Amino acid sequence: MLHELRIKRVYDHPSPDDGYRILVDRAWPRGLSRETADLYYRANRELGPSAELKAFLGHTRPNFPVFAERYVDELDSRPEAHEMARKIRELLEHDNVTLVYISRHPTKNTAVIVRNWLYRQWGMRPQLPVWYTTTGLDAPGSHASEDANHAGRTDRANASTPTDEQGDSMDTNERNDDLAKAARIADEPVVGASDNPRMTVRTEEKAAETADEERRLFREGDKIERRGGTVESEYPHSIRIKRIYEEPAADDGARILVDRLWPRGVSREKAQLTDWSDYEVPPTAELRKWFGHDPAKFAEFRKRYVAELDASGDAHDFADKVGKTLRDENVTLLYAAKDTVHNGAVVLRDWLDGQLGIATK
C-alpha cells in the first residue's frame, strides 16, 4: 500500500508529514537556502521543464495549457523521468512524497503537471484542475481523456477549502522568518498551498526507514539532498571571482573564463584555464555592447543578463557542473574588466549562488 503524493509551494513551511520533499522546478527558488527548503531531492533535470519551455511560458498564464501539453511531451521523452517515476513510487511505500514548486498559482504550476503525469505512469487516475478540461488535453485520445468528469468532482471538492482572492489556501500557519523573507525576495507572497490527500490508497503503519534503505532507493548519491542537511555540508568549497590578469593560485580550483572575448595580453598558458568550453554562459554580444561597462547601466544589465541565464539550457547545465565541482574544489570565475564590482562575473556568481542555494556573500 502507498502513502500520499502531495504538492506544496516551496515557500510554505515544511512539516513532518511532507515526507520526502522533491523540487520539480527547473530553477532554484529565489531567496531560499537549501537548509530552509528542506529537500530530499532536487529533480530539476529529471522532472523540471526545459529552460526553453520555461522561457516560452514566462509569466503569461493564458499560455499555460499549451505549456502543460509540451511539458508532458518532454516528460514522456525523458528516460530519466521514467526512472524517477519508479523511484518516487518506491518512496511512497515508506512515507509521503511532496512535490514542491515555486509558482504562487495553486493549480497552474509544475507540480500539478508532474503529479498527474506520475499517476498515469502508475496506472492511477489523475486529479485534473479545471483548465485541463477546457483545452485539448481532455480530447479523445489525449493524456486526460478518461478523467474529465473526475476533474469536475475534484474542483467541487476543492471549492469547500477557504481561499483568498488569488485562489490560494487561507490556511496560513505561522511561517518562520526565513520563509517569509524568501517569499518577499521572490516577489511572491507567502500563502498556504497545502493539499488534501489525492491518493486513495494509504497505510496506517509507516515502515521504518534507515539510511541503508534510502541509499537503496536512490543510488545517485552525488545528487541526493538529504533532509536536514546544510549548505556548508553539501558544498565544502566556494564560488569565487577574480581578474584573469591576477596570478593563478593553488586554491583557485577550476578556473573558468566567463567573458565572451579573450583578454588582451594573456596567453592561454598563463591563464591556466579549466576546459569548460562546452558551456555558453557569458552575456550575449548585444547585451555586452549595450552595457559597455557603464556602472550607471549595471542594474539593468544585471536584470537582462539574469533573464538570459534563466532562459539558457547551457547556463543551467553549467550550474549543475559547478555544484558537482564544489564538492571537490573551488570554482573561480575569471573576467577581464578593471571594474571589480560592475561586471558579468559578479552577476553570474550571484545567479549561481541562487541556483545552488548558497547564501550570496
Look at residue 179 in the predicted model and tell me its pLDDT.
58
Look at residue 256 in the predicted model and tell me its pLDDT.
94
Strand partners, 169: 163, 192
- Expressed in percent and rounded to 5, the helix, strand and coil fractions of the chain are 45, 10, 45
- Closest of 275, 259, 238 to residue 352, by C-alpha: 238
B/e letters for 291-316, b = 16+ CB within 10 Å, e = fewer, are beeeeeebeebbebbbebbbebbebb
Report the DSSP pairing between strands 41-42 and 20-23: parallel
User: Is 133 strand, coil or helix?
Assistant: helix
Mean pLDDT of the chain: 74
Look at residue 132 in the predicted model and tell me its pLDDT.
53
Look at residue 55 in the predicted model and tell me its pLDDT.
73
Contact by Cβ (8 Å): 59, 41: no
Mean pLDDT by 10 residues, the chain (361 residues): 90 92 87 83 88 68 78 93 94 94 86 93 73 45 40 37 34 48 46 34 35 40 36 69 94 94 91 86 93 93 90 85 91 94 93 75 47
CA distance 286 to 273: 25
- Closest of 179, 188, 186, 226 to residue 12, by C-alpha: 179
Look at residue 337 in the predicted model and tell me its pLDDT.
94
Contact by Cβ (8 Å): 79, 124: no
Look at residue 127 in the predicted model and tell me its pLDDT.
62
Strand partners, 242: 334
